[in-house]
Structure 1
Amino acid sequence: MYNRRYTGKIELAVLDTAGTFCDGPGDLRNRWALDDLRGCKAPVVPFYEALQQFGIECDWATIRKPMGNFKPTHLRMLLSLPEVSAQWEEKYGRPWNEDDFDNVLAAFRPLMSKYIVDEDLAKPIPGAVECIDKLREAGILIGCDTGYYQEDSIALNKMLEEKFGMKFDVVTNAEKVPGRPAPFMVYDCMLQAYEITKKAIPCEAVVKIDDTAAGMKCGNNAGAWTIGLYASGSNTYDELAASKPDFLVPHVGYVPEIIFGQIEPRLRRGERPGQGIIETI
């Protein structure tokens, strides 16, 4: 309901994919010696292996810098980093060009499709299934957004549903609409939610949950509440804090208590998102 300001409940939660509800932290150095033990490994490994095919060595911290963006955008940003572009010029005697970009991306695509459904990576983060169940029991629609290609996102979500019973009410990706930090994946989930409920959902009734700074900026730009996850995915606490989310928690298991114990009471008082970090757990 509105009393000049929205004072109702949360209607839609939009969760990122890797590092948020699946592909969490763990020690996989038996497979990848450079594993940094953080979550969101599924995009890192194919970038690493694709660049290796062209004689470019990147540590995982470097690969993570553009995380949260649509994967072609991520690659372009990665190749543009001084430490990577310098390697390219040293090896090939010239800056990388669009043909080079296309070639690296072509090497990346099949690797991404392979690793996104890798059994060591494509499993729910502890607390993720319970989180979704609690939100759905409260009548909250569950959305999923991702910087993955649509084909890869469909494959991952199919696997999660078949093996773990994880199902989303609305899904979107950065191949369908412009990706993070733009707000359009959140808006696309809101549009799909409207098509289900035939009820307009205001931005204040939406929560964006993500492990990347780009995801927090996406939620902020959409006018939604934002919950950053600093221990389960790609970005650190400080990196997330710099993007000014409303809340910072270790992982998705804390989301229900933030929504029911923090956000909804604030909504009833007429408060709005985007006031800076309210609370950290």
Structure 2
Amino acid sequence: MNYQQPKKLQAVILDWAGTVVDFGSFAPTQIFVEAFAEFGVQVSLEEARGPMGMGKWDHIRTLCDLPAIAERYRLVFGRTPTDNDVTAIYERFMPLQIEKIAEHSALIPGALEVIAQLRDKNLKIGSCSGYPAVVMEKVVALARTKGYVADHVVATDEVPNGRPYPAQSLANVIALGVSDVAACVKVDDTWPGILEGRSAGMWTVALTCSGNALGLTYEQYKALPDTELEQARTRIGQMFEGARPHYLIDTIAELPAVIADIEERLQRGEMPQSV
């Protein structure tokens, strides 16, 4: 039997915070700030946003490796943070995250309508997140009350390696019965999430305005003057360059046009790995 390139998409794998829920991705970032503060270490919201998309323990480890934060930690504890210290911060982060996740659980405008259009095209809806399973359980339950139910969910601690490794996306491929990774689209608002999709051999769509990189509420985003919005798009596009997304769009509301374009490219024989 000969290999046949896919001619149609089979699945879209969506991130959660900043992609489908929580415009601006505030739930995780604010809790990082609060968790570090409980140890007497100041971390800014901008610093907390830097590694967004990673699993939360890895995110904290990455923050602790930043020279400025490591020095603040040393001034308080007399040493730079060890893995045990990272675990201690993570164990404080988790209950705070679970407690406050509902405060930032609103669906992103247009998400439900787009997902309905994807389902009308017989596309399966996978999902994954940098949240661990105990947080995802609450996120998924809250989303269900608002009308969003993915076909499959993979939390960061349900695979051997979280983002930017491809394991979560590939776990969706297996669970959804997808026959070829090139028939999948990964949608995410962070560079680790785009690298995840790229490493899995999928089409990738980066969201520039609904997630972590812009870090604004929907109302603030809509109120931005055109010149400032264009400058933000340029800045965020440069942030994503290294991850090489196939597409850059503002929010999930623009996804249907991208899906149509990808299907035209598949019909022409193009593959995500070759571009």
> Structure 1 length as normaliser, TM-score?
0.86
For residues 33-57 of structure 1, give each alpha carbon's deviation from its aligned partner in whole angstroms, at most 9, with x where no partner exists.
xxxxxx1111011110010011111
Q: Corresponding residue for 1:169?
A: 151
Q: Corresponding residue for 1:27?
A: none
1:254 partner SS: helix
8 Å Cα contact 2:185/2:204 also seen in 1? yes
Q: C-alpha separation between the residues in 2 aligned to 1:247 and 1:215? A: 13
2:116 to 133, 147, 150: 133
Q: Corresponding residue for 1:241?
A: 241
Identity %: 32
**Counterpart code for 1:264:** E
Q: Per-residue deviation at 1:90?
A: 1.8
1:47 partner SS: helix
1:143 to 107, 117, 126: 126
Q: Per-residue deviation at 1:7?
A: 3.7
1:175 partner SS: helix
8 Å Cα contact 2:61/2:83 also seen in 1? no
Q: Corresponding residue for 2:217?
A: none
For residues 163-208 of structure 1, give each alpha carbon's deviation from its aligned partner in whole angstroms, at most 9, with x where no partner exists.
x1101111111110121111111110011111xxxxx420110000
**Are 2:220 and 1:222 equivalent residues in the alignment?**
no
**Are 2:83 and 1:98 equivalent residues in the alignment?**
yes
**Counterpart code for 2:55:** F
For residues 142-171 of structure 1, give each alpha carbon's deviation from its aligned partner in whole angstroms, at most 9, with x where no partner exists.
011001010111111111111x11011111
Q: Per-residue deviation at 1:237?
A: 2.5
Q: C-alpha separation between the residues in 2 aligned to 1:209 and 1:3? A: 30
Q: Corresponding residue for 2:222?
A: none
Q: Corresponding residue for 1:157?
A: 140
1:144 partner SS: strand
Q: Corresponding residue for 2:19?
A: 20
Q: C-alpha separation between the residues in 2 aligned to 1:115 and 1:149? A: 15
Q: Corresponding residue for 2:218?
A: none
**Are 2:192 and 1:209 equivalent residues in the alignment?**
no
Q: C-alpha separation between the residues in 2 aligned to 1:17 and 1:213? A: 14
Which runs of no fewer than 5 residues in structure 1 stay unpaired? 25-38, 195-199, 277-281
Q: Per-residue deviation at 1:4?
A: 4.8
For residues 37-82 of structure 1, give each alpha carbon's deviation from its aligned partner in whole angstroms, at most 9, with x where no partner exists.
xx11110111100100111111111111111011111111111111
8 Å Cα contact 1:245/1:274 also seen in 2? no
Which runs of no fewer than 5 residues in structure 2 stay unpaired? 214-235
**Are 2:248 and 1:273 equivalent residues in the alignment?**
no
8 Å Cα contact 1:147/1:179 also seen in 2? yes
Would you tell me which structure has more helix in proportion to its own residues?
2
